[in-house]
Amino acid sequence: MTTKVGRIAAGVALLAVVCVPGQATATPERRPSTVTAPAVPPQAPQALSLVLDGGSFSLRDAFAILAGRPVTAQLAATVPAAMNRTRQGALAALTTQRVYGWNQALGPLKDRPLSPEQAEQFQRNVLRSHAAGVGEPLSDDVARLALILKANQMARGTYGVRPEVPQRLLSMVNAGVIPRMPQIGSLGTGDLQPQAAAGLAALGEEAPVRYMGREGPASEILPQAGLPREFVFQAGEALPIISGSTVVAAMLMDAVYRATALADQAEGAFALFMEATRAEQGSLDARTHKERHIPAEDAVAARLRTMISGSGWMTEEGRRRLDPANYEPRIQDAVSVRAAPHIMAGLRHVLADLRRALVREANSSTSNPLVFQRADGRGYEFVMGGNWDGSVMGHLADSLNAEITDVGVLSQELTGRLLSPRWSYGLPANLAGGTVGLNSGMVQVQTVAAALIPEMQARATPAGTLSRPVKDGQEDHNTMAMASVRHLQENLDRLAIILAVEYLMAAQGIDLIAQQMAGLPLGAVTRALHAELRRYVAPLGDDRYMTPDLERAIWLVRNRRLIPSAAR
């Protein structure tokens, strides 16, 4: 008599023949727990060459840096002369203006004057006193991006610094020297602590940097990288290093880069779920979504239609196969299934808002004070304001966190449906591959996703509403944007795990009924997603050690291996 495990293996083989022509059949034997990519000769990524003019940095550039591409960056040919003109104008204006951070001290000490003789030491002291951050440093790619953003903003010529300052930052990037910039300390009112650490590294002090895979003080590493050991910041040049929120911007660009890939994979996982449950295709009808007048929703539904195009499973015949004698039309699926395009459109909508905001941020002046030519053309003047504030980015980070949390909740709800024969329309209880009862199936795999949901929900509380005054009331409103972005990054890690659970369980549901669905194909894209997952994770027969399976699925999600072709 054929065992249930044998039927699963036969069903998977049938899927390989019927649904995935030319693909090797998934094998049920265990794979090693260490996940590695297929043996493909590595190709060196194409180097990125940037010319910074303060007005044309793009998210395409940012994403290439975040993807780890080698980068060289330089100022545009016209930038140094413009910066020098502003610098000379700023120095001349100091003879008649009292200016924050130039000839006056900082923060609560803003009324304390500085003599010209104190200017150079003050720059060094500012960076030393403000480099008080702790915690995990930024990743190398995010740190590189933060330095490039800072240099690009300086290239606008409104900060009053010499061109040698952004050139020093870019020389570190080009040489592969990355300052270690701790994340904890910034209130989103200028990323003072992490940016001060980068400034100290640029000076050649003891601040740690990474170079060629090892870490050491900048004073030792810079000469090894072929750079001068020391650099001197002159009057007014330390404050533009620490002012503004370029670290928040770099981390938020990284979050957008990650969230976009997870949004793509959330749609792919949902398409597999629809196949496993033989869902009604009517919920994807273009006419319904067009009536909502939300372009992002139209686009999500269109991609899902492409993914399941040609599916024989999501038809009346497919739904009849599991229990022909008792089949009744389903009429419509649960809310989580029907409303999924709208729910996932919310994530896409916020991502679009963020892209626009971040391009503006990358090409804006975000320091205090700024230096402008007078309206009458007679010299320059300093203007002091709050142009460095990170409120818009912080609130958008909170919004993105809310959206990815909602997608995580949706994904977890869908995996819960797959465990129930009633909610999944006939899949074996717990998605057990062998004898149900003797085998517990994937119930604890689904619990991994459920365990992460309250953590996501707690971290999705908007930090941007939690301002508190500091520094003797001088900074009495703080955006808390760094907290918002750190919580967002943590929740992106959690969402990757939750989506991996959904992929594993949806694929298992497909395998469990493949034999009964013989002759009916999966959709054009869903069968490719199923095949890619099965290259790394065998279908579940009798119960086995599940952690390695889930770790492999997480690796696939984090390495963008399950992005549907419809999203590319």
CA–CA separation, 566 and 302 (whole Å): 9
Q: Please indicate, yes or no, if residue 253 is contained in any of the structural domains.
A: no
Q: Please indicate, yes or no, if residue 183 is contained in any of the structural domains.
A: yes
390 pLDDT tier (thresholds 50, 70, 90) = confident
- pLDDT at residue 8, rounded to an integer: 62
- pLDDT at residue 267, rounded to an integer: 98
User: Count of alpha carbons within 13 Å of 272, Cβ hemisphere only?
Assistant: 32
- pLDDT at residue 471, rounded to an integer: 56
DSSP string, 482-530: HHHHHHHHHHHHHHHHHHHHHHHHHHHHHHHHTTTTTT-PPPTTHHHHH
Domain end position, chosen among 196, 216, 244: 244
pTM of the predicted model, to two decimals? 0.91
Note whether 67 and 188 are same-domain residues: yes
CA–CA separation, 83 and 77 (whole Å): 11
Ramachandran bin of 426, using left for φ above 0, alpha for ψ from -120 to 50, beta for the remaining angles: left
Which of 89, 73, 42, 94 is closest to 144 using CA atoms?
73
Q: Kindly tell me if the per-residue pLDDT of 20 is higher than 50.
A: no
Question: What CATH number is given to the structural domain containing 493?
Answer: 1.20.200.10
75 bridge partner residues: 52
CA–CA separation, 24 and 174 (whole Å): 44
Note whether 67 and 196 are same-domain residues: yes
E strands, 347-484, where? 370-373, 380-383
CB atoms < 10 A from the CB of 285, how many? 13
372 pLDDT tier (thresholds 50, 70, 90) = very high
Q: How far is CA 526 from the centre of its chain?
A: 25
> What does residue 5 show for φ and ψ, rounded to 5 degrees?
-60, -40
**217 and 211 in contact (C-beta within 8 Å)?**
no
Domain end position, chosen among 206, 221, 244: 244
Note whether 89 and 167 are same-domain residues: yes
Total count of domains within the chain: 2
The CA–CA distances, whole Å, from 434 to 278, 441, 512, 544 equal: 22, 8, 10, 11
- pLDDT at residue 18, rounded to an integer: 41
Q: Please indicate, yes or no, if residue 272 is contained in any of the structural domains.
A: yes
Q: Is 458 helix (H, G, I), strand (E, B) or coil?
A: helix
Note whether 233 and 289 are same-domain residues: no
Note whether 78 and 213 are same-domain residues: yes
Note whether 418 and 528 are same-domain residues: yes
Comparing 185 with 516, which gets the higher pLDDT?
516
Tens of pLDDT, residues 441-500:
999 999 999 999 999 999 999 877 766 666 555 565 667 788 999 999 999 999 999 999
Residue at token pair 């490719």:
528
- pLDDT at residue 136, rounded to an integer: 94
Q: Please indicate, yes or no, if residue 377 is contained in any of the structural domains.
A: no
Note whether 146 and 198 are same-domain residues: yes
CA–CA separation, 293 and 248 (whole Å): 33
- pLDDT at residue 552, rounded to an integer: 98
**416 and 506 in contact (C-beta within 8 Å)?**
no
Q: How far is CA 527 from the centre of its chain?
A: 27
Tens of pLDDT, residues 485-516:
999 999 999 999 999 999 999 999 999 999 99
Note whether 424 and 559 are same-domain residues: yes
Tens of pLDDT, residues 85-113:
999 999 999 888 888 778 786 666 666 77
Enter the tokens of residue 465.
Answer: 């509403």
Q: Please indicate, yes or no, if residue 417 is contained in any of the structural domains.
A: yes
Q: How far is CA 432 from the centre of its chain?
A: 34
Note whether 86 and 204 are same-domain residues: yes
Q: Please indicate, yes or no, if residue 18 is contained in any of the structural domains.
A: no
Question: What CATH number is given to the structural domain containing 210?
Answer: 1.10.275.10
Q: Please indicate, yes or no, if residue 376 is contained in any of the structural domains.
A: no
E strands, 16-168, where? 48-52, 71-75, 134-137
Tens of pLDDT, residues 201-252:
999 999 999 999 999 999 999 999 999 999 999 999 999 999 989 999 999 9
- pLDDT at residue 99, rounded to an integer: 84
Q: How far is CA 84 from the centre of its chain?
A: 37
Note whether 322 and 230 are same-domain residues: no
Domain range spanning residue 420? 259-364+391-467+480-567
CA–CA separation, 149 and 161 (whole Å): 15
Q: Kindly tell me if the per-residue pLDDT of 25 is higher than 90.
A: no
| Three-point CA angle 553, 556, 562, nearest 5° | 110
Mean pLDDT calculated for residue range 306-332: 93
- pLDDT at residue 115, rounded to an integer: 77
Residues 156, 158, 159, 162: what is their CA dihedral angle, to the nearest 10 degrees?
70
Q: Please indicate, yes or no, if residue 170 is contained in any of the structural domains.
A: yes
- pLDDT at residue 110, rounded to an integer: 63
Q: Kindly tell me if the per-residue pLDDT of 414 is higher than 50.
A: yes
- H/E run at residue 364: none
* Ranges 70-74, 94-98, 138-142, 553-557: which has the least confidence: 94-98
Residues 85, 90, 96, 99: what is their CA dihedral angle, to the nearest 10 degrees?
170
Residues 6+ apart with CB under 8 A from 101: 126, 236, 238, 239, 368, 369
Note whether 207 and 276 are same-domain residues: no
Note whether 498 and 431 are same-domain residues: yes
Using a pLDDT cut of 90, give the percent of the chain over it.
75
Domain end position, chosen among 244, 271, 304: 244
Mean pLDDT calculated for residue range 319-339: 91
Q: What is the mean pLDDT of the chain?
A: 89
